[in-house]
Structure 1
Amino acid sequence: MDEALRAILLIGLAAAVLTTGALTLNWWMEPERRLRRAMLKSLGVAADAEAVSPAEGKAAGLGFESGQIAVLWGRGANGLVYDFHEIEGGEIIVDGHVVARIRRGEPRKSLDVMAPEAELVTLRLMFADARYPEFELSLWNANVPTQTGSPAEALRLGRRWLSHLEALLK
């Protein structure tokens, strides 16, 4: 009887340890958390401004201390790091229409349209790189079932990114 009880307790303990390990691994590999770790590794410091799209597996971050911008894709497995002088500009695209833009050497096209019913809000970053001249990141996608936030929040984040880019380009 004692051996049967001991075996049941050992099996229960092993099951608890395995369950805890699986839950910890699931938490650690969560897409948003994984992208933030990759961003930290890419920039070497915590990003001062970041935009993350876990559903796409993409992220972008500005490190003012390091003077760099990092763009990641493939759930953080791939990415590029650019110096600030390599940034050419950025755009906010709502449902296929450019609603705001900042480019080096051009006047800013301000965001004067708020689209509370937008299906897709995208931030496009442009770089002085022949191989990877632009990077698009969905800030809001109504077709993603796990999407949190709203189109208005996505537009505010995009406008903040354009303000950072404008300050860097001056």
Structure 2
Amino acid sequence: MNQYLPTIIILTAAALAILLILYRIWDSRVEAPKKLEDEVAEALNGAKADVASIEPARKAAAALSYLGNRCVIVREFGKLPTRLYSMAELIGIEVFVNNKVAARIIRGGAHKMFDDIAPQVDRVTIRLMFNDPSKPDFELILWDPNDALTARAEGPRAAMETARRWFYHVEAIIRKPLAEIEKELTPPAPPPPPPEPAPKAPVHDHRNDDTDNDDAPPPAPKPAPKDGDVLNSPLIQYL
């Protein structure tokens, strides 16, 4: 029995290693993307995303819903809280292709139209900019050569299409005046409740002023004479 013990230990360790590898593959390709999707869906609070990007390899995600008035940013999922921005707080976007600016639009600033002339795409990144001094920007890598075997790897050309959709959505928002955005997306204030009606004064019936009060109690009857009461008894019975 002792001669088989090393073999049993080696086989057990190999089986555990295989199970661990399978779990990591399942977690990175199935569980992690699903958790990110659930986090984004919960942050959107039922609103439909116009454009969204889930990057499980970087534990990051971003989603934009104009009608929902929400831009969801997930950084280091599980470590940092998810941040929400309104459309008025979104001030720009930059698209980087091969570490060079391919497109840019900033509210009240520079504007560079989308330039998709790179013969070979090695890296695609978007940078969203917000009116937030603590976290003014957010970079999300949509494609990297090391992403070839990771979950949700969409390839360089598909990443370019995703970056293009992000740019055009943000560009349409930036071109709108802030006053128009706030007017369109701010829900109207509820109307004030109607005032309570004043209580009605009691109506006095003047027809009963000169009449007798029918509700007055009748006069009490006179007590009957008692037997032997000579003073109060009638005189006829004594005649």
Q: Tell me which interval the TM-score lies in, with the shorter structure as reference length.
A: 0.7 to 0.9
| Cα distance in 2 between the residues matched to 1:98 and 1:30 | 34
Greater share of residues in strand: 1
Shift of 1:116: 5.0
Deviation, structure 1 residue 28: 10
Contact 2:63-2:71 at 8 Å conserved across structures: yes
Shift of 1:108: 3.1
Residue 112 of structure 1 and its aligned partner are, at CA, apart by 1.9
- Equivalent-residue separation in structure 1 for 2:132 and 2:103 (angstroms): 22
TM-score by length of 1: 0.77
Instruction: Verify: 1:137 aligned to 2:140, yes or no.
Output: yes
Pair 1:128-2:170 in alignment: no
3-state secondary structure, aligned to 1:30 = helix
Q: Deviation digits for residues 47-102 of structure 1, max 9, x if unmatched?
A: 23101111101110012232110100223652210000001100111122111111
Q: How does 1:20-99 map to 2 (within 5 A)?
A: 30-45=31-46, 46-75=48-77, 78-99=81-102
TM-score by length of structure 2 reads 0.56
Paired residue for 2:154?
149
Deviates more, 1:111-120 or 1:124-133: 111-120
Structure 1: how far apart are the matches of 2:78 and 2:114? 30
State the structure with bigger RCO (CA 8 A, min sep 6), 1 or 2. 1
Q: What amino acid sits opposite 2:91 in the alignment? A: E
Q: Deviations for 1:102-148, whole angstroms, at most 9, x for unmatched residues?
A: 11123531122343532211010000000000000011011234242
Report how far residue 159 of structure 1 moved.
Answer: 1.1
Mind listing any 5+ residue stretches in structure 2 that lack a counterpart? 1-22, 177-239
Q: Which runs of 5+ in 1 are unaligned?
A: 1-21
CA distance in 1, matches of 2:131, 2:111: 18
Looking at structure 1, the residues matched to 173 and 39 of structure 2 have their Cα atoms a distance apart, in angstroms, of 23
The residue matched to 1:165 in structure 2 has which SS? Answer: helix
Where 1:89 maps in the other structure, the secondary structure is strand
Pick the structure with greater CA Rg: 2
Aligned letter for 1:146?
Answer: L
Q: Aligned partners of 1:116, 1:31: CA distance in 2, in Å?
A: 33
* Letter matched to residue 49 of structure 2: A
Q: Structure 2 vs 1, CA of residues 115 and 126 (structure 1 numbering), >3 Å: closer, same or farther?
A: same
Please report the RMSD computed on the Cα atoms of aligned residues, expressed in angstroms: 2.3
- 2:50–2:66 CA contact under 8 A, matched in 1: yes
Share of identical aligned residues, percent?
A: 33
